A and B are shown apart, each in its own frame.
Chain A
């Protein structure tokens, strides 16, 4: 059966009618092991197509060949939710003609669905696909688990190309994206490097500072009033966040509390919590490790969700709206609780919101977990370099040196104080850190806007300036 299979990516690009000035899109479930974006952009460059906008749910260091395409004017615009540091450093120097548009994992599908960021051709990296384009992330040598972020691309792009390294007989059962959205299928040798697609299990931190933070974080949840039957929870994949999840698991097992769902980016630790009975289900927009991939493939309680279902603010509802607690990170947080996850303290791009703003807006308790300082740079500042998530959506900051509660959540402050936790004013926490580190000199920024940070509702929230070249 030939179905929709065409001979090469180049042929698919030509058949899809890609022309100068159009927008192509990619999803990031193959993470730092993704070959597809580079393969497609190489084919596009060979066809002589220029002035493209790349709309990618996230970009990683493996996508550094984009820099050449930017230099050659093949790519003149980028829309993304996250950009890793090596790419971010170059963007911060101002190499791109138009400012990057940063969105959130919920804002991206929302804006795609509403036609604010139309996609001409979507390229979907699929670890398994059949000749008609039914595809899944759960099977094959490049398995990545959930394909959640690829749904809006498949549903709303004018043309959809599925790229697989595992073409199976029709019909592929247990598909994520059905053939009804797919125009062309291309089979290539490899869509990614499994080592970069999923990590082994991230280790729980052994750093004593991280463990103190994690213990505080678990206690904040325990005394928040939210930890009861039906509790729901999301956490990041950082060492301290995972340690917090482990302490939380101990509390839930001891108190015999069963939660309703764990959400996210799912790691093996969340799978452990599911299997231990801490949650009735996992709702998964992206798998972070092999254990999560195995679980979503075999355990019906572990469900794939689309980016819209995860976090879109403009669809009828999203899972984040039902979330109780989320644990999030920060490179900086200011005394108004605004959080920066886009740049480092020097103003250089090294991340992005991802689902940060979406979960913070939806969750009843949004917790930032961060050390008082990293490599001498205090976390709490007067004004963050970039507002990634507004302070109105953040409830509490947990550090090794104390817990600062946002004044808007008086009840939480009273509960934590009554529980004997080390609660202190965020200004006092800032001074406490600066007594140890010294006060850093303010960093100058360049005069060119290199990125616009767009809120999940679609409004301009902040801008990121270029970073002056080191003398």
Chain B
């Protein structure tokens, strides 16, 4: 299991990118999503974020995802980077 010990972020607010912020949490995964394609891809984005967190063993964290129309692979990379930064020294 990976513990998020510090606030961390990854990504940008550029079009076709996503800005992910992660902070320590105690009540499972609290996911906040804003997206320019929320109506078309909102569910798909939530699934991807939760899947990446699960793969990396993150069970408790507050995650804010501000999506500007990023592809799935971009979302995965940004979430993973945010998690690695939030785990502290690795």
Contact = CB atoms under 8 A, between A and B. Distances in A.
Interface of A: 345-346, 374-377, 436-438, 440-441, 443
With most chain A CB atoms within 10 A of its CB, the pick from B37, B68, B72 is: B37
A125 to B, nearest CB: 34
Nearest to A468: B39
A440 B36 contact: no
B1 interface: no
B70 A441 contact: no
Given A436-B71, A437-B71, A438-B72, A377 B40 contact: yes
Given A376-B40, A376-B70, 9 more contacts: A346-B39, A374-B16, A375-B37, A375-B69, A376-B37, A438-B72, A440-B40, A440-B41, A443-B40
B15 interface: yes
Most buried by B among A346, A376, A440: A376
A440 B71 CA distance: 12
A376 B16 contact: yes
Contacts of B68: 375
Nearest to B44: A438
Given A375-B15, A375-B16, A376-B16, A438 B69 contact: no
Contacts of A441: 39-41, 43
State the majority secondary structure of interface residues on A.
loop
A375 B16 CA distance: 5
B71 A376 contact: yes
Contacts of B16: 374-376
A96 to B, nearest CB: 24
A441 B46 CA distance: 14
A35 B74 CA distance: 43
Interface of B: 15-16, 36-37, 39-41, 43-44, 68-72
A345 B36 CA distance: 11
Contacts of A345: 40
A440 B37 CA distance: 9
Contacts of B36: 375
Contacts of A440: 37, 40-41
Contacts of B40: 345-346, 376-377, 440-441, 443
B39 A376 contact: no
14 contacts: A346-B40, A374-B69, A375-B16, A375-B69, A376-B40, A376-B41, A376-B69, A377-B37, A437-B71, A438-B41, A440-B41, A441-B40, A441-B43, A443-B39
Q: Which 7 A-B pairs have the closest CB atoms?
A: A375-B69, A440-B40, A376-B69, A441-B40, A376-B37, A375-B16, A375-B15
A376 B35 CA distance: 11
Contacts of A377: 37, 40, 69
Contacts of A346: 39-40
A172 B72 CA distance: 61
A376 B69 CA distance: 5
Nearest to A375: B69
Residue among B43, B68, B71 with max Cβ neighbours from chain A (10 Å): B71
Nearest to B15: A375
Contacts of A443: 39-40
Nearest to B70: A376
A443 B15 CA distance: 21
A376 B42 CA distance: 12
B10 to A, nearest CB: 18
Nearest to B48: A438
Contacts of B72: 437-438
Most chain A Cβ neighbours within 10 Å, of B16, B39, B41, B71 = B39
A377 B67 CA distance: 13
Nearest to A442: B40
Nearest to A437: B71
A40 to B, nearest CB: 36
Nearest to B18: A376
B40 to A, nearest CB: 4
Most buried by A among B15, B36, B40, B68: B40
